[in-house]
Amino acid sequence: MPGHARPSARRFLEGRGRYVADLSMPGMLHAVVVRSTEAHADISVDASAARAVAGVRLVLDGGDILAAIQPPPIIWDVPGQRRSGLRALAHGRVRYVGEPVAIVVAESEAIARHAAALVRIAYAPRPVVASIDQALAADAPRLYDDWPDNVVASAEWSGGEPDAAFADAPVHVSGRYVSGRVSAHSLETRGVLAAYDPAQDGVTIHSSTQGPHQLREAIAWCLGVAEHRIRVIVPDVGGAFGSKSCPYGEEILLAYLALWLRAPVRWIESRAEAFVACAPGRDEIVDIELALSEDGLILGLKALITLDKGAEPYAASVGAAWAGAMMVTGAYRIADVHVATRVVVTNKTPTGAYRGYGTPEVNFALERALDDAARRIGIDPAELRRRNLVPPEAMPAPSATGLLLLDSGRYEEMLDLALDAFDYRARVGRARAERAEGRAVGIGLAFYVEPTNLGPSALCGMIGIASGGFDIATIRMEPSGQVVVFTGQTPMGQGVERVLQQICAAELTMPDEDVTVVHGDTQACPYTAYGSGGSRGTGIGGSAVMLAASRLREKLCAIGAHLLGAAPDDVELSQGGVQVRDDAARRVSIARAARAAYLAHDLPAGMDPGLDARASFDPATLAITYGVALAEVEVDRETGLVNVRDILFGHDCGRQINPALVEAQVIGGIVQGIGATLYEGLDHDAAGRPVTRCMRDYPLPFAADVPPIALVHLETPSPFFPNGAKGVGESGAIPIPAAIANAIRDALGDTAGDAVNRLPIRPESLLPS
Amino acid sequence: MLINCTLNGRDTAIEAAATTRLSALLRETLGLTGTHVACDEGVCGSCTVLLDGSAARACLTLAGQCDGVAIETVEGVAAGETFETIADAFLRHNALQCGFCTPGFVTTVAAMLRDDARERLGDAEVEARISSVACRCTGYLPIVAAVRDLLGRDR
Ligand code: FES
Ligand code: FES
């Protein structure tokens, strides 16, 4: 349909989406997970009453799976990091509220729930570690008896001579910046339907996941089942945002249950469970120090990134902190840098990946600190940034630590574009005038860089990712001339299926509707090394499709040339046909060439019959998307409520294959960023018990909370990708917290105090104490 | 109990416990899985259906309350007259991503469009109604744009 960014989305409007909870099978059983209600305790489990309930088929606790289910693999697996050894069910000891203790399988969900309530867990409480500070205290209780402390891993990187730079610099600023624990909160919770597959003596798992191949690997590893007997199918995914990127214990358990019971078993996470069991994100403290010259040049940066992992490393492990170390220098030229990371365990739900994954946390710190520096030096904050941005002619530009390569971009041009579009000067003046009248109005900005197109496999190895970073695509042209693309990428609303369709159709000069895309099935689809995360769908998955399509095109052209009696070099593919260059009269349609490939009566000598192609794509570098966010806010001095009046977002993700989908990603990310800045937080009491347990306690932004948002774009293709595209999935969420916090600081002046350094910035924190 | 109701335009008798949630009844018993459950506590609006033409939370509605009521789910709306214009506006404005919230918006918007008083719905009322459904993907702006378009209002 003309004017529709994603025509296949129509089924969702009709109520024909198919999510895991919509699937059922004959004889399907229902699983309910029994979870710890204590943050730290030794436990004993008595499931006898639950087992006795009519209709209950099986109850397993941690002791029952010790031999059968191994601890899951770690995806960010850095040298020397400590492991929890935890399995899918706790055994003898629990370490967070929400930790799975037992699983009940019954003939109906109601019976399973009833029986689950009868599983008795006796708790002998242990002292609780509820915060990073408590975890690091000298006499802290330890979560793992065989660890010397509560630290999973730590590391440091240096470039240049940071100590010397700091000693010589006239201006120093420093601060502690806290990004609170938040929930990705996809509207669809997690869910799994696992079924025994008698034909393969294997198991088929339907799961709401971002990484079908990664899930298959984890199941194979944990259960000792060969990968070819495991089939992961991903139905429609109702949002994910990183939280469904790493395998979970429940997915492993369900696969085990289906194999054990030789029956289909379904588990659907309740919303209350999601708040304690679906990996949250952020929960990081960044201490940052900047050394500057009198005229605002950044001479040195020191940062300490401390990530609260919750109760165990989990598959995502140290990744967010390591990614933060890579990104902490941002878009700026900084010659002398020292970055340290440490990752600690506490008695809270293990954190995982969430949109931005370490980048928003360091961006918040750096961009807040730069504002303080501008104030100290007495120059405009936008000007201070301008003086330090890496210029295009310096790219590709490695950071001082060597962790980051800024591949391409026009940073200063972007800044100017955005400042103009926002009418920045005039707004700053108006805000000053309003403040003079007593209103707390302020303007703030933040520049950002986003690591996308993860990633070169060699880089993955270097930074401790236990997988590659490539994607494979296969394309099959049917005898009728239409095309099926097979990808390891997984749609979850971002529209990657649409983008891959467009890429393939463009390469083959065909109408989009002649291309279908098959995804979400490990038995049919080629391997993806990292799934749909790291903003890599278009850049990596799309490049693989483009390369495969160009191989297919070559074969089509060879067949077409043969049919036309022309030399292969003299023909080209255009508008759905192969024709002799500059001679439109000598032309065969794609359909005719395709039929010839399958008839195989008369093919060029030595050519294989059939028409398909395969390509893998492993990039040379990450692609760094970038941009700037500007915000105008007014704070109500009576209530502390922040009214975001306007947002402008400047953005460059290289070539845009589907601009409407790019815009959708940016806006969606911005609004999640607003949520994390002003509303959302997963809070705990002193005993480590989560107090945010339902949607009522976790105020997502609704439509009325969203300010006007204007976007401006540049398109600077990345020279390192065949399609020039960089990723876009995480952009919006990255600079919004700093931009809004800087605007609040501007509005309130010194009275803002420390409140603007901790997310979320809640109204009560902005009231005079 | 036996519940006599109209379901998507058809007279229907359903046997169900009076305390069954309408969302569960629709999804599990009647196979109408377009009604989604994201919170089960009345906050998210994903489960919005039309009861006698008005938008209501199916997760907060009990089967026993549905006797004699006309129930319309997203599947019913999709088969109805206004649907083409709704679908076209949502697709043109790219007002959905993962689609999980979408049925809640479709039913909410259908109620607005049929509302005899729609011309008199103030902007604040329109915003309030859209703000009864949560979406985690779109950031709402395209949804608001689609709805204003459907109501014939400038942005
Ligand atoms: S499921 Fe009914 S309002 Fe959320
Ligand atoms: S489109 Fe995903 S929640 Fe609205």
CA of A354 to the centre of ligand 1 (A): 24
| Bridge pairing between strands A440-452 and A471-477 | unpaired
Q: Is the CB of B43 under 6 A from ligand 1?
A: yes
Do B106 and B61 reside in the same domain of the chain?
Answer: no
Q: Is residue B133 part of a domain?
A: yes
Q: What is the pLDDT of residues A74-101, one digit of tens each?
A: 888 888 899 999 999 999 999 999 999 9
Beta strands in A453-582 (DSSP E): 471-477, 483-487, 515-518, 571-574, 577-580
Alpha carbons A274 and A694: distance in angstroms, whole number: 9
CA of A238 to the centre of ligand 2 (A): 7
Predicted confidence (pLDDT) at residue A614 exceeds the cutoff of 70: yes
- Put simply, whether B100 touches A (Cβ < 8 Å) is yes
- Domain stop point among B76, B93, B112: B76
Closest alpha carbon to A172 in A462, A446, A369: A369
Residues B63 and B21 in one domain: yes
Interface with chain A: mutation pick from B100, B109, B112, B113, highest number of A CBs within 10 Å:
B100
Contact of A187 with chain B, judged by CB distance below 8 Å, is answered with yes
> In 10 A of CB B155, how many CB atoms?
8
Q: Are residues B6 and B71 in the same domain?
A: yes
CA distance A402 to A396: 12
| Same structural domain, B34 and B55 | yes
Task: Check CB contact of A18 with chain B, cutoff 8 Å.
Answer: yes
ipTM above 0.95, yes or no: yes
Distance B106 CA to ligand 1 centre (A): 15
Which of B76, B105, B138 is the last residue before a domain boundary?
B76
Averaged pLDDT, A197-205: 95
Q: Does A270 touch chain B (CB under 8 A)?
A: yes
- pLDDT of A627 above 50: yes
Average of per-residue pLDDT across A301-324:
96
Question: Which residue in chain B is spatially nearest to A24 when comparing CA positions?
Answer: B28
Position A2 confidence tier, pLDDT thresholds 50, 70, 90? low
**A659 at the B interface (CB within 8 A)?**
no
Establish if B38 touches chain A: CB-CB under 8 angstroms.
yes
pLDDT at A577 over 50: yes
Nearest to B38 among A187, A236, A703 (CB): A187
CATH number of domain containing B62: 3.10.20.30
Which among A402, A163, A188, A404 is positioned nearest to A300, based on CA atoms?
A163
Mean pLDDT of A109-119: 98
Residue B94 lies in a domain: yes
- B46, B88: one domain: no
| pLDDT tens digits, one per residue of B55-96 | 999 999 999 999 999 999 999 999 998 999 999 999 999 999
Tell me if B139 is assigned to some domain: yes
Residue B134 within a domain: yes
Average pLDDT in the A173-179 region? 98
Domain positions in chain A are 7-126+190-268, 281-455+620-766, 470-617
Q: How many angstroms away from the CA of A298 is the closest CA of chain B?
A: 35
| Joined tokens for residue A70 | 């191994």
Q: Mean pLDDT for chain A?
A: 96
A283, A370, A377, A292: which is closest to A331 by C-alpha?
A: A370
pLDDT of residue B117: 75
Residue A292 near residue A171 (C-beta atoms within 8 A):
yes
Q: What is the fold, at CATH topology level, of the domain defined by A281-455+620-766? A: Aldehyde Oxidoreductase; domain 4 (3.30.365)
Contact B142 A185 (CB under 8 A): no
Ligand 2 center to residue B95 CA distance, Å?
9
The whole-number average pLDDT for the span B39-55 is 97
Predicted pLDDT of residue B154: 66
CATH superfamily of A7-126+190-268: Aldehyde oxidase/xanthine dehydrogenase, a/b hammerhead (3.90.1170.50)
d(CA A473, CA A541): 7
Whole-angstrom distance, CA of residue A295 vs CA of residue A471: 46
Q: Are A646 and A572 in contact (CB under 8 A)?
A: no
Q: Which pLDDT does position A443 carry in this prediction?
A: 98
CATH number of A470-617: 3.30.365.10
Residues B70 and B84 in one domain: no
Distance CA A360, CA A451 (A): 11
Kindly determine whether residue A704 and residue B127, on different chains, have CB atoms separated by under 8 Å.
yes
B17 interfacial to chain A (CB closer than 8 Å): no
Q: What is the pLDDT of residue A462?
A: 84
Among candidate residues A263, A651, A180, the one with its CA nearest the CA of residue A421 = A651
d(CA A718, CA A623): 7
Q: How many angstroms separate the CA atoms of A662 and A494, rounded?
A: 9
Q: Which of B55, B76, B97 is at the close of a domain?
A: B76
Given CA atoms A142, A144, A147, A151 in this order, what sign does their dihedral have? negative
Q: For residue range A709-762, what is the model confidence (pLDDT) as tens digits? A: 999 999 999 999 999 999 999 999 999 999 999 999 999 999 999 999 999 999
Chain A nearest CA to B108, separation (Å) = 12
Q: Which residues of A touch B24 (CB under 8 A)?
A: none
Residues B38 and B104 in one domain: no
3 state SS of A172: strand
pLDDT at B155: 47
Round to whole Å and give the CA distance between A702 and A190.
22
Let me know whether B90 and B65 are in one domain.
no
Give the pLDDT of residue A336. Answer: 98
Task: Find the distance separating the first CA and the last CA of chain A, reported in whole Å.
Answer: 57
Would A7-126+190-268 and A281-455+620-766 be classified into the same CATH topology?
A: no
Q: CB–CB of B137 and A239 under 8 A?
A: yes
Residue from A55, A151, A54, A45 nearest A100 by CA:
A45
- For residue range A145-169, what is the model confidence (pLDDT) as tens digits? 999 999 999 999 999 999 999 999 9
Nearest CA in chain A to B40: A271
Q: Based on the fold, state whether residues B19 and B51 are members of the same structural domain.
A: yes
Contact A187 B101 (CB under 8 A): yes
Q: Are residues B69 and B84 in the same domain?
A: no
Set of chain A residues whose Cβ sits within 8 Å of the Cβ of B102:
12-13, 17
CATH of the domain at B115: 1.10.150.120
The gap between the terminal CA atoms of chain B, to the nearest Å, is 48
Query: Mapped to the 3 state alphabet, what secondary structure does A256-269 carry?
Result: HHHHHHCCCEEEEC
Q: Are B56 and B88 in a shared domain?
A: no
Domain contains B109:
yes
Q: Is the pLDDT of residue A249 over 80?
A: yes
Q: Which residues span the domain enclosing B40?
A: 2-76
Looking at beta carbons, which residues of chain A come within 8 Å of B140? Answer: 671, 701-703, 706
Interface membership of B84 toward A (CB under 8 Å): no
pLDDT band at B116 (very low <50, low <70, confident <90, very high): confident
Residues 477-496 of A with CB under 8 A from B: 492-495
Distance from CA of B31 to the nearest CA of A (A): 8
The model's confidence at residue B119, banded by pLDDT at 50, 70 and 90, is: confident
In a domain, B155, yes or no: no
pLDDT beyond 60 at A225: yes
| pLDDT above 90 for A296 | yes
Distance between Cα B36 and ligand 1 center (Å): 8
Checking if the pLDDT of A455 tops 90, the result is: no
Residues B86 and B135 in one domain: yes
User: A403-447: per-residue pLDDT in tens?
Assistant: 999 999 999 999 999 999 999 999 999 999 999 999 999 999 999
Cα A493 to averaged position of ligand 2 atoms, centre (Å): 7
Size of interface A-B (CB pairs under 8 A): 173
Number of domains in chain B: 2
